[in-house]
Structure 1
Amino acid sequence: METTKLFGFLNGQESHPGKLLKDHLKGVFEKSKEISNFHGYNMLVESLKYICLTHDVAKSHLKFQKYLKTKKGHYPHSEPSSYLTFMLTKDIFHAEIVRRHHSYQVNFEDIMSFWRNLNYQDVIKALEEFLDLTKIEYLTEKEWKRLIFQSWHSKYLLNKTVKAEDLWFNTRIENSIFITSDRLDALNVDRINFDKISYQQDRFDKFLESLPKNHLSDWKNEIRESTLSNVDTISEPGIYTITLPTGAGKTITGLQASMKLANKLSLKTIIYVLPFISIVDQNSEVAKNIYDKVQEDHHLVSASKEKEDLDNLERFILSFRYFKEPLIVTTLAKFWEVLYSPNANDSMSFHRLKDAVVILDEPQSIPPEYWQGFGETLSFLSKKMGTFFILMTATQPKIEEGKELAPKSSFPENRHSYHIINKKIFLSEIKQFLEERSDNSSLIILNTKKEALKAFILLREHLKNNLFFLSTWVIPKERRLLVKYG
């Protein structure tokens, strides 16, 4: 259907205060084309066209227009808009993307139940409340029922001509691009202007030269050079591993390996995934020494930003934690949401995995019962999206078989000695215990917040400024400062 026909019934209605509905629908489609073309998903533009151009059409309803002006009453627009999406695309999953674009995706059985329980005449009545059906070609009742009860059942349940994992992927990638485009346009962002990652050897050399030298420096450099040499042999997306002992310089090795790989194969993005926010902070600082456009992503970042100083694109990135920059350092929790969360906004960065290198640092922090399914997901996405996954740790979990990039290596010396005290030490004795070891610094780990606070109170007067308290009793901002500056 031509856009002029689709928009023929729109006459000055608004989607948001001060924004014409017609302009919003077109703007969302234009942004979806920009995102699709950059990520090599040109084949999705036609299906995205109808999702984008119909997703808010029910906002033209008088009740919604009244709500915009008075903030009184309410008219849920997503569901009636999805009726038109289905009428035009004949695809229930495209209609579902529209129906759930302000909430979350639901399971296959719930989708079937919803659409099969709809009454065709009720659908027609709902559509006629905000558009003139004589101006568009729409499904007859017979066609509607055939698509919902016969073709769909045959395609997905009986013959299974579409595999479940392909259906999941197609829906998620379209949802990801559409939701991103919708939120961008709602915040009046003109263009997103993606940048590709670039490899700057001189920045690495300068940073490595600035690091303090010790008797382990040569050993670390040998490991790094050997790993980088193995990166030169990579030609296909897949799962790779870097297995090195703690203290071998995995962070800089992983970053340099991924950037070299991205440069070699013209990849677009590097996503560095870490288990804890404190490590995200630290590794972001390292990344910023070797590359300018680094996005540090976790839920505390917004607290450190002055929102009135941000432009619309920056507000968008901060509000939705969208992976915009060529190098993103994020948390495992966020990466998990990008892959699996049914919430519409959580899927937004999914398309950013296309032609990307994803470093998973310390992946053993994932509970073992999820390893198999997670590994299968990585393997599937490497084939579908051309993603290179690098699992990096000292103790490689059995998530998925991958090609090892690092040389076999062990730490060249024993760094630890242990003195086991085979008796109970009570909290009241902790002051004396530390006094007997006053020549050394000490780390005390307690099982509960309550006990940690008791220990801090006991030692506060004795140690004064030499005592540091890391606990969730301390607000996140203060904890970050303690970790960074001590």
Structure 2
Amino acid sequence: MTWWPGSLTGKKSHPDKCLVDHLEGVAALAKRLAQTHGVLDKADIEKLFDMSLTHDLAKARDKWQRYLEGKGEGTPHSESSSFFTLDLTHDVMAAELVRCHHGSLKNIEDVKSFWVNDDFKLCDIVSKIKEILPEWEPSLNDATWEKINNDLLFEFKTDENFWLRYRALLSYFIAADRMDALGVSGFDPTPLRFKQPSFDQRNDLDKWRQEVRVECLDNAKCRGEPGVYTLTLPTGTGKTTIGLEIAHMWAKKHGYQSIIYALPFISITEQNAEVARRLLGEDAVQEDHSMIKRGGDDDTPSPLKRMEALFRYWHLPVVITTMAHLWEVLYGDRVNSTINFHQLGKSVVILDEPQSIQAEHWAGLGKTLHLVSKKFKTAFILMTATQPHIAESATEIAPCACQKPISNRYHCKILREELSLGKLPDVLNHHLPLKEPSGLIVANTRREALKIHKIMCEMQEKQQISRGPVLFLSTWMTPAHRRRTLKKLRDLEKEDHPRFLVSTQVVEAGVDLDFHWVARDEGPLDSVIQVAGRCNRHGKRNVGMVLVVRLKNDRGKRFSRMVYDSILLQAMEEVTSEISEFEERQIGDVVGKYYERVSGSKKGSGLWDDIVKGKWATLPPLYAKERPALVTLVVEAEDSNVGELVDFLIKEEWNLKNIEEKKSFLREIQQHAVEIPEKLLLKCREKSSSILSSKNPLRQINNSDMWFLSKEAVSILYDPVTGFTPPEEEDDDINGCFV
């Protein structure tokens, strides 16, 4: 095969890169990645090498070369390049991965329809190859073409191993391609270090936490081979620290190359990333989510930093990410979603609060984790206080004695009567010690939370609760606003000052706050227990009180029904009809009964069947419920420069050369933004139109789905305590919850 120097002399793949250099660079990087992670066998590594060498050969066309010189429009190159891959490998799936390398994966039936049909002939492939590279001597002939067709039509079988193999091939290939395009020529892994954490020993609970930590670490010493593990510990035991310590121990002992930590919500990734940095070093931890501020003071980021910014590529040994992104890495159909899939190889992967994943996915996810652990040599840890039935035959790390708290920090009472919001003050007053200086109420929808916040303020005016700030948390507050509120709450808690909080489910997982009493609108049992963990969290007081109420709107519809799966609520009702009150030390028994009912009632999402059958383009998303059309509202606060950022975004001419700078600006702007239903936009514009201003107080940004709310209009549509104020009274639907 002699296709360079020949026709490729002087040809470019990118404006600043020779085509030959790019193809050879991608092939070398892909091979090195594959050898580093050890997922592929020797034959597949050679196949990966051939895919990489051929993936952009169609860029040799004169039309593409003129496009790079700015003299015409681009032309598709992936499909024509895939013909070279097929000719070199005689592997349709390898060719298919090249064909889709700037798009998305296809279902296997669609793959067959493209490669085997009456209009697609061998002579067409040979003709296209010769047109692009006359020197290329095709190896395909009538006999080999017939065999490829027959194999694809009659012998082609898909299963879970087939899926894993080709997703891994695609992951290495896509990562290497994007790396070389950005100038990554090599990579040296950052070593994992560990700083011994310090622990307070001020009371019996602190001593118990330390005992739990020591026992879990001792138990983990004789484990850690590739497999699926659970770490089931009560709330407030320091699971984040214990989980990271175990992962680090296993990495040292068993040679795992990275630690990947997935959380259910963006709002807590920052907090857990700080814990990881303290334990494992600032330069070893990569915080990865859609709202992360990247870049910093470095005007000339390294190529790997650019990979991180553009493709969310994991290049540091410790990654703190979201469950939603990990789901995309595992199952997403966009090829860029697979870019980190190979990183799961030889890693410890922690899934924090895995019960947040919809129950219909549990069986399929569990089978996936077992498959990946076996083939990729990965250790998965499912870490929570309320362990769901996800992975059969998983190994528990925590000793039985550690799975219950040392004492009852709270007592939980569940009321079964449906209540209107108007009756809430009397019910709270009857069942809770409202004169205590701190309390938390968690609602199921944002509008419900706003109404409860108003009720709490009125109760304070009537001296029904202690004097102190009544604060608020929901995703209708900008990330910057939420961070300020959490800091204020922690400062008040540190000084033991009065404080009250009304929140949506944003406060459930991983938010380290402590209150004298807690109330929650009904929800799945695991959500109730997560919130209960904020009551007397540090065990400094006598037994706290947790109250679960069943609230309904003015139309008689329960708020919980607008948010949660009916099967989860039914399981909750069945369990609490038998056990309407329980102590914290009884949680294990109550949760066991709850998950038995959930598992017995829930139908699977078809995730595993779709993997096996090759329906890779239509694997179910993590959150199956449809969301309404949303727009982004950028809020100009008095103390922010977001207005200047928006003006620059509008005025600047953006192109491929400064696209990274644009993304950096957008990430900064998102710190001051909220998402609202598009249907509210017209009412917002009507409400803000009364404001006299030289500029429209609510205006669209560059014909995008982003809208800028100026300082003049903030007082009308954005409250300094509760955030976005919807312009009309309207009941929440399914999308009113925090997700």
Normalised by the length of structure 1, the TM-score is 0.89
Q: Using the alignment, how far apart are the partners of 2:474 and 2:79 within structure 1? A: 46
Question: Is 2:224–2:379's contact at 8 Å kept on the other side of the alignment?
Answer: no
Q: Using the alignment, how far apart are the partners of 1:428 and 1:479 within structure 2? A: 29
Greater CA deviation, 34-43 or 399-408? Answer: 34-43
What does 1:166-185 correspond to in 2, within 5 Å? 166-185=161-180
Q: Using the alignment, how far apart are the partners of 1:370 and 1:432 within structure 2? A: 37
For residues 374-405 of structure 1, give each alpha carbon's deviation from its aligned partner in whole angstroms, at most 9, with x where no partner exists: 11111111110111111111121111221111
For residues 98-130 of structure 1, give each alpha carbon's deviation from its aligned partner in whole angstroms, at most 9, with x where no partner exists: 000001111111111100122222222322332
Task: Give the 3-state SS of the residue equivalent to 1:360 in structure 2.
Answer: strand
Q: Does 1:76 align with 2:76?
A: yes
Question: Is 1:196–1:326's contact at 8 Å kept on the other side of the alignment?
Answer: yes
2:407 corresponds, among 410, 413, 427, to 413
Q: Which amino acid aligns with 2:482?
A: R
Q: Using the alignment, how far apart are the partners of 1:354 and 1:382 within structure 2? A: 8
Q: Using the alignment, how far apart are the partners of 1:427 and 1:440 within structure 2? A: 23
Greater CA deviation, 476-485 or 405-414? Answer: 476-485
Question: Is 2:63–2:72's contact at 8 Å kept on the other side of the alignment?
Answer: no
Over 3 Å counting, the alpha-carbon distance change for 1:26 and 1:453 in structure 2 is same
For residues 306-325 of structure 1, give each alpha carbon's deviation from its aligned partner in whole angstroms, at most 9, with x where no partner exists: 68453321121122111211
Structure (1/2) with the larger strand percentage: 2
- 1:360 maps to 351
Over 3 Å counting, the alpha-carbon distance change for 1:362 and 1:185 in structure 2 is same
Over 3 Å counting, the alpha-carbon distance change for 1:484 and 1:131 in structure 2 is farther
- 1:238 maps to 227
Q: Using the alignment, how far apart are the partners of 1:180 and 1:423 within structure 2? A: 54
- 2:395 maps to 403
For residues 154-202 of structure 1, give each alpha carbon's deviation from its aligned partner in whole angstroms, at most 9, with x where no partner exists: 5424xxxxx522211111111101100111111122223223534x3xx
2:132 corresponds, among 130, 133, 153, to 130
Structure (1/2) with the larger helix percentage: 1
Report the CA distance between 1:138 and its aligned residue.
2.6
For residues 73-122 of structure 1, give each alpha carbon's deviation from its aligned partner in whole angstroms, at most 9, with x where no partner exists: 23100000001100111001110110000011111111111001222222
Q: Which amino acid aligns with 2:100?
A: R
Task: Give the 3-state SS of the residue equivalent to 2:28 in structure 1.
Answer: helix
Question: Is 1:33–1:42's contact at 8 Å kept on the other side of the alignment?
Answer: no
Over 3 Å counting, the alpha-carbon distance change for 1:13 and 1:106 in structure 2 is same
- 1:450 maps to 447
- 2:637 maps to none
For residues 394-423 of structure 1, give each alpha carbon's deviation from its aligned partner in whole angstroms, at most 9, with x where no partner exists: 121111221111111311222124577868
Q: Using the alignment, how far apart are the partners of 2:27 and 2:443 within structure 1? A: 54
Question: Is 1:278–1:483's contact at 8 Å kept on the other side of the alignment?
Answer: no
For residues 227-275 of structure 1, give each alpha carbon's deviation from its aligned partner in whole angstroms, at most 9, with x where no partner exists: 1112221263111111111122211111111111111112111111111
Over 3 Å counting, the alpha-carbon distance change for 1:325 and 1:168 in structure 2 is same
1:437 corresponds, among 414, 430, 434, to 434
Q: Which amino acid aligns with 2:434?
A: R
What is the root-mean-square deviation in Å for CA atoms of aligned residues?
A: 2.8
What does 1:324-473 correspond to in 2, within 5 Å? 324-400=315-391, 401-409=393-401, 410-417=404-411, 424=419, 426=421, 437=434, 439-454=436-451, 456=453, 466-473=469-476
Task: Give the 3-state SS of the residue equivalent to 2:321 in structure 1.
Answer: strand
2:241 corresponds, among 252, 257, 267, to 252
Question: Is 1:240–1:388's contact at 8 Å kept on the other side of the alignment?
Answer: yes
Q: Which amino acid aligns with 1:74?
A: G
Question: Is 1:196–1:267's contact at 8 Å kept on the other side of the alignment?
Answer: no
Question: Is 2:225–2:254's contact at 8 Å kept on the other side of the alignment?
Answer: no
- 1:480 maps to 483
- 1:160 maps to none
Over 3 Å counting, the alpha-carbon distance change for 1:244 and 1:140 in structure 2 is same
Over 3 Å counting, the alpha-carbon distance change for 1:307 and 1:471 in structure 2 is farther
Question: Is 2:421–2:452's contact at 8 Å kept on the other side of the alignment?
Answer: no
Q: Does 1:189 align with 2:184?
A: yes
Q: Using the alignment, how far apart are the partners of 1:388 and 1:265 within structure 2? A: 10
Q: Using the alignment, how far apart are the partners of 1:350 and 1:439 within structure 2? A: 50
Task: Give the 3-state SS of the residue equivalent to 1:80 in structure 2.
Answer: helix
Task: Give the 3-state SS of the residue equivalent to 1:444 in structure 2.
Answer: strand
Greater CA deviation, 325-334 or 419-428? Answer: 419-428
Which sections of structure 1, spanning at least 5 residues, go unmatched?
Answer: 158-162
Q: Using the alignment, how far apart are the partners of 1:357 and 1:72 within structure 2? A: 48
How many percent of aligned residue pairs carry the same amino acid? 40
Task: Give the 3-state SS of the residue equivalent to 1:474 in structure 2.
Answer: coil
Which sections of structure 2, spanning at least 5 residues, go unmatched?
Answer: 462-466, 490-739
Q: Using the alignment, how far apart are the partners of 1:465 and 1:58 within structure 2? A: 68
- 2:152 maps to 152
- 1:105 maps to 105
Report the CA distance between 1:13 and its aligned residue.
1.4
1:28 corresponds, among 9, 26, 29, to 26
Over 3 Å counting, the alpha-carbon distance change for 1:112 and 1:310 in structure 2 is same
Task: Give the 3-state SS of the residue equivalent to 1:106 in structure 2.
Answer: coil
- 1:213 maps to 202
Question: Is 1:302–1:318's contact at 8 Å kept on the other side of the alignment?
Answer: no
Report the CA distance between 1:152 and its aligned residue.
3.3
Report the CA distance between 1:304 and its aligned residue.
7.8
Question: Is 1:237–1:383's contact at 8 Å kept on the other side of the alignment?
Answer: yes
Q: Using the alignment, how far apart are the partners of 2:69 and 2:176 within structure 1? A: 25
Q: Using the alignment, how far apart are the partners of 2:82 and 2:452 within structure 1? A: 59
Q: Does 1:229 align with 2:218?
A: yes
Report the CA distance between 1:216 and its aligned residue.
0.9
Q: Which amino acid aligns with 2:259?
A: I
Over 3 Å counting, the alpha-carbon distance change for 1:341 and 1:482 in structure 2 is same
What does 1:273-352 correspond to in 2, within 5 Å? 273-292=262-281, 293-302=284-293, 308=299, 310-352=301-343
Over 3 Å counting, the alpha-carbon distance change for 1:430 and 1:283 in structure 2 is same
Q: Which amino acid aligns with 2:365?
A: F
Report the CA distance between 1:19 and its aligned residue.
1.3
Over 3 Å counting, the alpha-carbon distance change for 1:110 and 1:420 in structure 2 is closer
Report the CA distance between 1:65 and its aligned residue.
1.4
Q: Which amino acid aligns with 2:398?
A: A
Q: Which amino acid aligns with 2:159?
A: A
Over 3 Å counting, the alpha-carbon distance change for 1:431 and 1:287 in structure 2 is farther
Q: Using the alignment, how far apart are the partners of 2:444 and 2:231 within structure 1? A: 32
Question: Is 1:241–1:392's contact at 8 Å kept on the other side of the alignment?
Answer: yes
Q: Using the alignment, how far apart are the partners of 2:455 and 2:440 within structure 1? A: 15
Task: Give the 3-state SS of the residue equivalent to 1:398 in structure 2.
Answer: coil
Task: Give the 3-state SS of the residue equivalent to 1:112 in structure 2.
Answer: helix
Q: Using the alignment, how far apart are the partners of 1:442 and 1:235 within structure 2? A: 41
Question: Is 1:431–1:459's contact at 8 Å kept on the other side of the alignment?
Answer: no
Question: Is 1:197–1:267's contact at 8 Å kept on the other side of the alignment?
Answer: no
